[in-house]
Amino acid sequence: MLRALTARRVATAAAYGGGGITALGGLTVGLVMVEARLARRIILATPNGDPPVADGLYGAALPGPPLSFAVLGDSTAAGLGVGAPEETPAAMLAHGLSAIAGRPVRLTNVAQSGSRSQALEGQVERALRVRPEIAVIMIGANDVTNRVNPAESARHLGEAVGRLAAAGCEVVVGTCPDLGAVKPVMQPLRWIARSAGRRLAAVQTVAVVERGGRSVSLGDLLGREFAADPLEMFSADRYHPSARGYAAAAAAVLPSIAAALGLEPEFETLPDARRGEGVLPVYLAAAEAAGEPGTEVAATRVAGRERGPRGRWATLLRRRPAGGAEAAGGASAGTVPPAAQSGAA
């Protein structure tokens, strides 16, 4: 019953938006706004500077032409909070992808710190210049903190996915993370941030799948790890991930990148009901994924049809990266991947 109610809310939010902080009482709103200002002051007190530039060629010694890989999004996609290019999630993904594909990978990162989903239009323009074969988008946190309507955020994201897909690019989206894990955020703001992030992640999933991409739920997957070891998983500002935190995110996304490019055994693509996987209408799959971190949602067909009585069909898969975080980042998140040669490009 609870999941059905959540799914209906996802479908409504995808179409109309609404809800959010405006539903709170006046006294609670005042408290939340004070807490938000305090959290922002704590976070900004430890500036990170600009994220490292990780653009370049990875796996240069491997045979074959380079695979063009683009990364779009906000500060998380850009890698803000770490000091070396190889510690960014884009570099870890490029290194992991080159190892899986057995060919070089040319990384172009157009993500910018502070970006909301509306900024994806310009980022797509820049990404298309390199004709990417695969793109990863990580965005959503700034939409939540700036109280952007979820339907508006999802519309911008869906348009970005659609443009990339129309250009022949496979697209994987890491949905909005769990902002409730951020240490400077206190209750009740923490509860509100977690709820808003999960809601946006579900609406993002619907938009992404409808436009030909696949989504990966980050949410509590990283939230639990960050809460268990905040000193190691967060950077100095206690808001952005550390190298270990980015490695965890990259490990969650990398298997879906491989799947999007057809670089996995066929048997691994089939849903397993024993793990709670299956084929569902996309809005039901989105609601399920929002509460089950590490879950991929992608479009599928049932009896040759893309849609059923309740909308587009989607598969719900819980992929498990081989080797955990190291599968994306090499032997450790803090070491230079031996196959990577990164530099300004």
- pLDDT, tens digit (0-9, with 9 covering 90-100), for 68-118: 999 999 988 998 878 889 989 999 999 999 999 999 999 999 999 889 999
CA distance 32 to 37: 9
Of the candidates 249, 298, 256, 248, which has an alpha carbon nearest to the alpha carbon of residue 278?
298
CA distance 288 to 282: 10
CA distance 196 to 174: 16
CA distance 214 to 150: 18
Question: 59 vs 64, 103, 337, CA distance in Å?
Answer: 10, 7, 9
- Which secondary structure element, helix H or strand E, spans residue 173, and what is its range? strand 170-174
Residue 13 has pLDDT above 50, yes or no: no
Per-residue pLDDT band at 199 (split at 50, 70, 90) = confident
Would you mind telling me the total number of residues written for the chain in this entry? Answer: 345
| Token duo for residue 33 | 């706004």
Largest CA distance in the chain: 63
Structural domains of the chain in order of their starting residue, each with its CATH number: 2-15+36-335 (3.40.50.1110)
At 85, which amino acid appears? P
Q: What pLDDT, in 10s, does the model give residues 128-182?
A: 999 999 999 999 888 887 888 999 999 999 999 999 999 999 999 999 877 655 5
CA distance 99 to 299: 27
Place of tokens 């935190």: 245
DSSP string, 29-75: HHHHHHHHHHHHHHHHTS---SPPP--EEESTTSSSPPEEEEEEESH
Q: What pLDDT, in 10s, does the model give residues 225-244?
A: 555 555 544 544 555 666 67
Residue 34 has pLDDT above 60, yes or no: no
CA distance 229 to 65: 40
Q: What pLDDT, in 10s, does the model give residues 282-304?
A: 878 888 777 676 788 999 988 88
- Which secondary structure element, helix H or strand E, spans residue 326, and what is its range? helix 326-329
Residue 216 has pLDDT above 50, yes or no: yes
CA distance 237 to 296: 30
What positions carry a catalytic annotation? 75, 237, 240
Place of tokens 């539903």: 23
Q: What is the pTM of this model?
A: 0.78
CA distance 290 to 198: 6
Alpha carbon 191 to its chain's center: 20
Of the candidates 24, 43, 44, 45, which has an alpha carbon nearest to the alpha carbon of residue 188?
24
pLDDT of residue 24: 41
pLDDT of residue 324: 43
Residue 27 has pLDDT above 50, yes or no: no
At 24, which amino acid appears? L
pLDDT of residue 37: 52
Residue 174 burial (CB count, 10 A): 27
